[in-house]
Structure 1
Amino acid sequence: MSSAAPPPPPAAEPPKPKDEGASYQEQIQEAARRNNTELLLQIKSELGNDQAQLAHLINDTREVITSNTPLHLACNLGNWEFIDIVLDIEGVEIDPKNRAGETPLHVAAKYATHEPDHGYFIIDNMLDAGADPRIRDNQGLQPRDYVVPSESKLSELLESAEYAISMEPHEDEQVREFAEEEEEAQDGSASESD
């Protein structure tokens, strides 16, 4: 009789992150807290560089008690490199609210009280990416309400962003103007053919 060992079982697929330790949600939170862009890019790679999946992961990952998203966490700590990558991911919600009703812009304004220059830089870039400075938290405060009085430059930035948004035509106005332009163009071409 042969005492050869049985053949090894077929190789199994590598376990998903949740099977081997931290879940993607835990990893993305850790990347946000530590400004760990390598971990963020590793997650992106493991998701097949699928922007939609990564955006979904970032949007749906929340801390249990605070309901902070990874973007809230990074803004709270001024972790610009993480924020910069996240702002470039199509489909990421830039104005999600946490349990206190704060957006990442509110959190960044609070961060700016301790780090005014860096906070200004982060807020300026978030506004450029489309963050809405008009949103009020559960206390009825906007991000500019958290700016310390000595930081007039930051207050002016947020106020000018609010003004710029208020000057944009509403969607209804844009649709009406487009319809009027189309009607005028059709009337013009009809009178030319007469």
Structure 2
Amino acid sequence: MGDEAKQGASPRELLLEASRRNNTSLLSEVLHSQSSTQISKLLNESTDGVGNYCLHIAASYGSYDVLDQLLDQEGLEVDPIDRLEGDTPLHKAVRFTNSLTRQEWEAGSSMVDLLLDAGADPRLRNKAKLKPMELVDPRNTELRSLLQKAEFTMTAGDDVVNRDAEEEDEGPTGSASDSDSD
């Protein structure tokens, strides 16, 4: 994007363009021109004409470096839902991976892994009621396995958290009165 084009472009337009083109220097310029509260607002509220947020765009275009930089930003929502398909960025990353040749699948899997590491939820379903794992090319067993493990880990983690909360609500088990009589 030339300097004359940058002059008239809004921070939102520059953010989305950086996400589309995997342009980390443009992304850095945009982020450095904003205060920390403006950054999270810009990242979490900026969409293109069809309701894709910057993470959706970066994942759809395979913009790994921009995605990595975006995920480092404090206050970023990692599971925004796009307006058109109800996809999360994780859905988009899987769709992008499916568009690659088998030799390129590893690059797509790296993007999926990056999103999972940042806390993206592989259990979320889009408007077609599909989870990201259900969009994976059936031949891509590595990506399917990566998403299955992430889903299992999140589900198991929720079970532990829920069980701990239930135990707190119920109070200590056993005979609490025994300790009172000492």
TM-score band by shorter chain is 0.7 to 0.9
- Provide the rounded CA distance (Å) in 2 between the counterparts of 1:36 and 1:135: 29
Pairing 1:34-183 to 2, within 5 Å after superposition: 34-48=21-35, 50=36, 52-64=37-49, 66-99=50-83, 100-113=85-98, 114=100, 115-170=104-159, 171-178=161-168
- Provide the rounded CA distance (Å) in 2 between the counterparts of 1:53 and 1:178: 39
- Provide the rounded CA distance (Å) in 2 between the counterparts of 1:126 and 1:169: 19
Quick one: which amino acid aligns to residue 103 of structure 1? T
Q: Aligned residue pairs: how many?
A: 168
Q: Displacement, 1:175?
A: 2.6
Q: Displacement, 1:38?
A: 1.0
TM-score by length of 2: 0.83
Q: Residues 150 and 36 of structure 1: is their aligned pair in 2 closer, same or farther, counting only changes over 3 Å?
A: same
SS in 1 for 2:73: coil
- Provide the rounded CA distance (Å) in 2 between the counterparts of 1:163 and 1:71: 24
Q: Displacement, 1:39?
A: 1.4
| 4+ runs deviating over 4 angstroms | 178-181
Cα root mean square deviation, aligned: 2.1
Quick one: which amino acid aligns to residue 34 of structure 1? R
**Unpaired segments of 5 or more residues in structure 1?**
1-19
Aligned to 2:8: 21
Q: Displacement, 1:129?
A: 0.9
Q: Displacement, 1:173?
A: 3.1
SS in 2 for 1:90: coil
- Provide the rounded CA distance (Å) in 2 between the counterparts of 1:29 and 1:44: 12
- Provide the rounded CA distance (Å) in 2 between the counterparts of 1:120 and 1:21: 36
**Unpaired segments of 5 or more residues in structure 2?**
1-6
Q: Please say which structure displays the higher CA radius of gyration.
A: 1
Q: Displacement, 1:174?
A: 2.9
Which structure is higher in helix share? Answer: 2
- Provide the rounded CA distance (Å) in 1 between the counterparts of 2:156 and 2:129: 22
TM-score by length of 1: 0.78
- Provide the rounded CA distance (Å) in 2 between the counterparts of 1:193 and 1:125: 55
Identity of aligned residues (%): 37
